Structure 1
Amino acid sequence: MIAARLPFVPPEAALAAFAGTPDLAFLDSAARHDPRAQTSYLCLAPRAVLRLETDPYTRLRRWMAGFTPPPRPADWPFAFAGGAVGWIGYDLARRAAGLPSRFAPLPGLPGGWFGLYTQILGFDLARRELVYLGPAEELASVAARLLNAPAPPPPPALAWRAETPPPVYRQRHEALKAYIGAGDIYQANLTLRFTAPRPPGLSLAALHHALRRLSPAPFGACLEGGGCGLACASPERFLRLYPDGRVETRPIKGTAARHPDPEADARAAAALRANPKERAENLMITDLLRNDLGKVCETGSVRVPELWSVESYAQAHHLVSAVTGRLRPGLDAFDLLAATLPGGSITGAPKHRAMEIIDELEAGPRGAYCGTLAWIGFDGAMDSAIIIRTLTATADTLYAQAGGGITWDSTWSAEHDEAMIKISPLLALGQ
């Protein structure tokens, strides 16, 4: 294994160069002016792939333990130096948490999917540096392919169909508020979904190129394996685990639309930060994440260093908090995932009852949506995102989904508008 510097090409050009290669994993930090959006990875030629349907955490741990990682070159400058890249879907995570669903899984979509990668292109976006990690004998062919990257093709027209028209959404919203009024829950995340036939021969890379232009995000991704995959523009970090055991999660709860006028946009961000409903909604989920981290972190280490910050993206401002801790000795990334999935920001509080009500009210399974995509390093470190603002693809169908947290103060029309703001870049693909 070597680390070798190559002439810089933008990550999206590298994706175009390798589009169509089997089991490609592209982790795309495309957000502008975001301190977390400094590094992208294009992971090539996995040594193995794993489809997950049961017990994802034990199976992932055993699968990774069965490989002897190559030595890390001293001049490889990035956090991820090889390991597993992939996703665990919401439906698989809720089953692993002991909650069955009334829905059958989405046809043709596994519960989760990971590739094991030791050949990686790392992009330092601030310094405009590109470094290859992998076998020395593959370097020349990788470099040649990067120099001859084609322009990405435009995505074909897509025929989106709403599964949850506004009157149906209103009925489900009111049913959910009745549960809140009865004291069953304080908050739950209610979503709506659109579907479209997948055009023959459609490359997810083409859709991801269009999506990253419409909605650049710090936790974007394009993952395609076994005929299915994700094109993702997620703004939300789920879990960051450092090699020394430090943990951070950054739940998003609270949304306001962007405005083209800078003064109106600044007022919208300030109003979001001050909004009592949005602050209460965010605080509920922050507390839920404190509880989840407390299951696996050292006593007294869980903190909330950041509460009610505003982060701004292409379509929306979001209210974001941070929860940190330190993992207990003897525990690992898989224990951390087991304690926290599905994420609190896309379930509700209390979490298990909220998931039961979601299953009762939504139109179908969530599949990968609202699960997590992650890299998990051979050194035990991990970074992950909540799978939102994401197009899920099977061999014949595309799924786009969005929603928001419903509380007692929510109105159905405002929540529906918020969901449509979030899903708008996905529905704009192929238009």
Structure 2
Amino acid sequence: MSPDRVTLALPWTPPLEVAAGIAGQEGALCLLSDGGPNGRVSWVGADPDVIQVGPVDPRDPFIALRQAGLERQVVGLAAYDAGARPATGPRAAAAGDWPDLMLARYPALLRFHHPSLTIQAIGTGPDAEAQARRAAGWIARSKAATRPSAPAVQFNGETSEAAYTSAVTDVVARIAAGEMFQANIARAWGGRLRDDADPFDVFLRLAQGAAPYGAFWRLGDRVLVSNSPELFLTFDPADRRLETRPIKGTRARDVDPDQDATNAADLVASAKDRAENLMIVDLMRNDLARVSEPGSVVVERLLMLESFATVHHLVSTVVSTASDGVGPANILEATFPPGSITGAPKHQAMKVIADHEPPRGPWCGSLFLLDDRARMTASVLIRTASFWRDAEGWRFRTLAGAGIVADSDPDAECAETDTKILAIRRALIGP
């Protein structure tokens, strides 16, 4: 056992219950998976010993990850705008004054392996054993993760449906004029929580239909809550395998099994949705090729149906072998922001998005973990709300977007954003 890494085996306790016991602490973290094949591991932690928050240099936005001591047990949040700024130029801060990049190192973490129902308390650093025992102590503080009442008192659209369909109409025209092939255009909603509510209440409500890459992260007066089903990247330095799983194509779930199956079949057969997915697969192949061994980029799975609590999606998987000397900072720099939420070509799509949206902030950025073995897992921050506290309490902002292509129908794309925001809306204000 390495003297700067100690692990303790612990009996199973659900990660959500452990997270509930420490949710109010500084740096409280819960990376909550659904336990399925795409999300087999959850993580819980608190009290990071290093925190970096601030703007980044657009020429090297992930330089902080190259610094000594930030190569493992590090959580980071890269805002969408940090990657879009080379295309858009300087812009105002996102709502809540969210920074471009937030990084925190956790000397103590709990790792929950769902298939085996086991927990590891992991401590790192010069006092690794004490850190591991500190993590183990969080188990005793577990609380019942009961579903609270709806915590929000407002859920207001920033713009009208008419404004959104007008934006889609403009983008379709610009695609016809040859500016691009696709752009993801979003709608935004905002509001505030009840005086007695906390963003963790929203996370508890979302977790009833947990996705593979759910997340709660508290740093100071900012909180991120996500129920993302989408993997942006994984990277394992041991075998240098890179993987991305872009999502494009959506249909609503239905309580009637026959109608639900019909919706899924319609998505699988949709020429528009398949073409949209293929465009992003090509974009991600090109992005991965920038940091991969020549000829190693392969489409492993194409246009596969995956079903979640409120939606069906089409998902593809692209893999490669990273070039020697390439690390997480290089990989993120080459691929960020995720192609599935920008469009193609990416640079032009980001310019068009900026013509129709204010800064996005965390939404459609990425939340990433470098674990105790320096393996990286990064999600795409869809199905995500950002929270910040001001003099009046907790405020939030959340978005949902749709990929606009040449034959997009503006009303149908608007309806798709309603479908995508449904789980977040219910978590905030109820049915």
Question: With structure 1 as the length reference, what TM-score do the two structures score?
Answer: 0.91
Counterpart amino acid of residue 26 in structure 1: C
Question: 3-state SS of the aligned residue for 2:24?
Answer: coil
* Residue 194 (1) aligns with residue 193 (2): no
Q: Take 2:155 and 2:341, find their aligned partners in 1: how far apart are those partners? A: 23
Q: How does 1:193-212 map to 2 (within 5 A)?
A: 193-200=188-195, 202-212=197-207
Q: Residue 269 of structure 1: CA displacement?
A: 1.5
Q: Take 2:6 and 2:373, find their aligned partners in 1: how far apart are those partners? A: 18
Please say if residues 292 and 339 of structure 1, whose CA atoms lie closer than 8 Å, have aligned partners that are also in contact.
yes
Q: Residue 378 of structure 1: CA displacement?
A: 5.9
Indicate how the Cα distance of structure 1 residues 140 and 181 shifts in structure 2: closer, same or farther if over 3 A, else same. Answer: closer
Partner of 1:85 in structure 2?
75
Partner of 2:103 in structure 1?
114
Q: 1:404 aligns with which of 382, 398, 402?
A: 402
Can you list the C-alpha shifts for 1:198-217, whole angstroms capped at 9, x where unaligned? 4446432221111111x320
* Residue 159 (1) aligns with residue 154 (2): yes
Partner of 1:26 in structure 2?
30
Q: Take 1:140 and 1:422, find their aligned partners in 2: how far apart are those partners? A: 41
Counterpart amino acid of residue 94 in structure 2: P
Q: 1:289 aligns with which of 281, 284, 287?
A: 284
Partner of 1:234 in structure 2?
228
Structure 2: give runs of 5+ residues left out of the alignment.
none
Can you list the C-alpha shifts for 1:35-84, whole angstroms capped at 9, x where unaligned? 12211001222120111311364432233x146x8xxxxxxxxxxxx421
Counterpart amino acid of residue 407 in structure 2: D
Q: How does 1:333-352 map to 2 (within 5 A)?
A: 333-352=328-347
Can you list the C-alpha shifts for 1:147-166, whole angstroms capped at 9, x where unaligned? 34334554523301101211
Counterpart amino acid of residue 311 in structure 1: E
Q: Take 2:83 and 2:361, find their aligned partners in 1: how far apart are those partners? A: 10
Q: 2:66 aligns with which of 62, 72, 81?
A: 62
* Residue 420 (1) aligns with residue 424 (2): no
Q: Take 1:361 and 1:212, find their aligned partners in 2: how far apart are those partners? A: 32
- Provide the alpha-carbon RMSD of the alignment: 1.9
Q: Take 2:131 and 2:150, find their aligned partners in 1: how far apart are those partners? A: 31
* Residue 371 (1) aligns with residue 365 (2): yes
Counterpart amino acid of residue 143 in structure 2: P
* Residue 315 (1) aligns with residue 310 (2): yes
Please say if residues 31 and 216 of structure 2, whose CA atoms lie closer than 8 Å, have aligned partners that are also in contact.
yes
Counterpart amino acid of residue 170 in structure 1: T
Q: Take 2:89 and 2:11, find their aligned partners in 1: how far apart are those partners? A: 50
Indicate how the Cα distance of structure 1 residues 149 and 83 shifts in structure 2: closer, same or farther if over 3 A, else same. Answer: closer
* Residue 252 (1) aligns with residue 247 (2): yes
Counterpart amino acid of residue 28 in structure 1: L
Q: Take 1:48 and 1:279, find their aligned partners in 2: how far apart are those partners? A: 44
Indicate how the Cα distance of structure 1 residues 380 and 19 shifts in structure 2: closer, same or farther if over 3 A, else same. Answer: closer
Q: Take 1:381 and 1:132, find their aligned partners in 2: how far apart are those partners? A: 17
Indicate how the Cα distance of structure 1 residues 141 and 49 shifts in structure 2: closer, same or farther if over 3 A, else same. Answer: closer
Q: Take 1:148 and 1:107, find their aligned partners in 2: how far apart are those partners? A: 31
Please say if residues 108 and 228 of structure 1, whose CA atoms lie closer than 8 Å, have aligned partners that are also in contact.
no
Q: How does 1:317-332 map to 2 (within 5 A)?
A: 317-332=312-327
Indicate how the Cα distance of structure 1 residues 369 and 58 shifts in structure 2: closer, same or farther if over 3 A, else same. Answer: closer
Partner of 2:53 in structure 1?
51
* Residue 430 (1) aligns with residue 429 (2): yes
Partner of 2:377 in structure 1?
383
Question: 3-state SS of the aligned residue for 2:419?
Answer: helix
Q: Residue 260 of structure 1: CA displacement?
A: 1.6
Please say if residues 108 and 395 of structure 1, whose CA atoms lie closer than 8 Å, have aligned partners that are also in contact.
no
Question: With structure 2 as the length reference, what TM-score do the two structures score?
Answer: 0.91
Please say if residues 17 and 148 of structure 1, whose CA atoms lie closer than 8 Å, have aligned partners that are also in contact.
yes
* Residue 217 (1) aligns with residue 215 (2): no
Q: Take 2:133 and 2:321, find their aligned partners in 1: how far apart are those partners? A: 42
Q: 1:393 aligns with which of 387, 391, 399?
A: 387
Indicate how the Cα distance of structure 1 residues 197 and 13 shifts in structure 2: closer, same or farther if over 3 A, else same. Answer: same
Question: 3-state SS of the aligned residue for 2:266?
Answer: helix
Question: 3-state SS of the aligned residue for 2:21?
Answer: helix
Q: Residue 323 of structure 1: CA displacement?
A: 0.9
Counterpart amino acid of residue 313 in structure 1: F
Structure 1: give runs of 5+ residues left out of the alignment.
70-81
Partner of 1:12 in structure 2?
16
Q: 1:181 aligns with which of 154, 176, 193?
A: 176
Q: Which moved more, 1:119-128 or 1:385-394?
A: 119-128
Indicate how the Cα distance of structure 1 residues 358 and 399 shifts in structure 2: closer, same or farther if over 3 A, else same. Answer: same
Question: 3-state SS of the aligned residue for 2:56?
Answer: coil
Please say if residues 7 and 121 of structure 2, whose CA atoms lie closer than 8 Å, have aligned partners that are also in contact.
yes
Please say if residues 54 and 92 of structure 1, whose CA atoms lie closer than 8 Å, have aligned partners that are also in contact.
yes
- Identical positions, percent: 36
* Residue 131 (1) aligns with residue 125 (2): no
Q: Take 1:176 and 1:148, find their aligned partners in 2: how far apart are those partners? A: 51
Question: 3-state SS of the aligned residue for 1:395?
Answer: strand
Q: Take 1:158 and 1:120, find their aligned partners in 2: how far apart are those partners? A: 34
Indicate how the Cα distance of structure 1 residues 184 and 26 shifts in structure 2: closer, same or farther if over 3 A, else same. Answer: same
Indicate how the Cα distance of structure 1 residues 377 and 60 shifts in structure 2: closer, same or farther if over 3 A, else same. Answer: farther
Question: 3-state SS of the aligned residue for 1:394?
Answer: strand
Question: 3-state SS of the aligned residue for 2:389?
Answer: coil
